[in-house]
Amino acid sequence: MRYKWQNFNFVKAARPVFIAAIILVLAGIVSISVFGMNYGIDFKSGSSVDISVSKPVEKAKVEEFLNSEDFGKYTFTSGEERISIRFEEALTEAQQQKLDADFKSKFDESASFEINIVDVEIAKEQELNALYGILIASVGIVIYVAIRFEWRFAISAVISLLFVAFMVISIFSFFRLEVNLPFILAILTIIGYSINDTVVIFDRIRENLRFAKLKTDADLTEVVNTSISQTLTRSINTVITVAFAAICLFAFGSEALKMFSLAMILGLLIGAASSIFIASPLWHLLRRKAKPHKTAKPQNAS
């Protein structure tokens, strides 16, 4: 596997990827500003009710039942074992109990409920909190990587991870997938993995730099390409195993973690690609631009 890619020019291949990435980011901005996010209960006030039923319940009957109960506007989806209802208003405690009792008596005695009620103030606060979290974590990563490596690695790594996070958010916006608190967890985990991925490659670049003689641009390109190809098997194997864990969670895991795992799968794939085709070439670009300065300075002085 390793040998197949040994002579592949990742740096050169990155150019179209950069262009594609910029287009995707613009598309993402358009999508988020036009469609917005499909906020779930955690970020929008209202009530969400998930009912797990032991026998199939007719959709029309549930609708009729809900209309008769006067709980305000609602939307709902129903599956074989699960009915999810979203009310625009926050249900009061009495309404919750009534819904619980009436549903049980009408449809299924052994139905089990999950009811979430969120006030809009708290919802906004949580979103803001998460955004701060991402920003502070990014700053922390920049500082650490700048100390351990150098600032160009730090800049490239953070641009790459923000790109990954933004792409996942854009995809969720475009496909109208529901965004809840676990989604924020997924974004933060993706950032962790993405930085993990990038650091592994950067570490190799740093190592290879020590033995490299950098006379021409081609030498620098060579170092980046070799480093990526040397770590490629590791990158692919790690993505396969972790993505597999996320896919298992998506396929078998509980309903509450479905969107979390989906975001994880997307983030892992985009993150691995971004470490190879965005972070590393970006460092290459920054480093190449910096080179003439180093040689130019002594000339000015003399």
Residues that bind other proteins (CB under 8 A): 3, 50, 52, 93, 96-97, 110-119, 121-122, 126, 129-130, 132-133, 136-137, 140-141, 144-145, 148, 181-182, 184-185, 188-189, 191-193, 195-196, 199-200, 203-204, 207, 230-231, 233-234, 237-238, 240-242, 244-246, 248-249, 251-257, 260, 264
- Asked if 63 and 126 count as a contact pair (C-beta separation under 8 A), the reply is no
Comparing CB distances to other proteins, the nearer of 77 and 216 is: 77
- Asked if 90 and 47 count as a contact pair (C-beta separation under 8 A), the reply is yes
SS3 47: strand
Q: Quick one: DSSP state of residue 36?
A: -
Least distance from C-beta 144 to other proteins, angstroms?
6
Least distance from C-beta 116 to other proteins, angstroms?
5
Q: Using DSSP bridges, classify how beta strands 38-39 and 178-179 pair: parallel, antiparallel or unpaired.
A: parallel
Comparing CB distances to other proteins, the nearer of 31 and 145 is: 145
As a dihedral over the C-alpha atoms of residue 135, residue 137, residue 141, residue 143, rounded to 10 degrees, the angle is 70
Least distance from C-beta 237 to other proteins, angstroms?
5
Least distance from C-beta 97 to other proteins, angstroms?
6
- Asked if 260 and 183 count as a contact pair (C-beta separation under 8 A), the reply is yes
- Asked if 257 and 182 count as a contact pair (C-beta separation under 8 A), the reply is yes
Structure tokens at 263: 């975001």
> What contacts 146, CB < 8 A, 6 or more positions away?
153, 154
| Rounded Cα distance, 258 and 23, in Å | 29
Comparing CB distances to other proteins, the nearer of 220 and 264 is: 264
Comparing CB distances to other proteins, the nearer of 170 and 235 is: 235
Least distance from C-beta 115 to other proteins, angstroms?
5
Least distance from C-beta 260 to other proteins, angstroms?
6
The residue whose two tokens read 């809840």 is 180
Comparing CB distances to other proteins, the nearer of 15 and 148 is: 148
Comparing CB distances to other proteins, the nearer of 214 and 257 is: 257
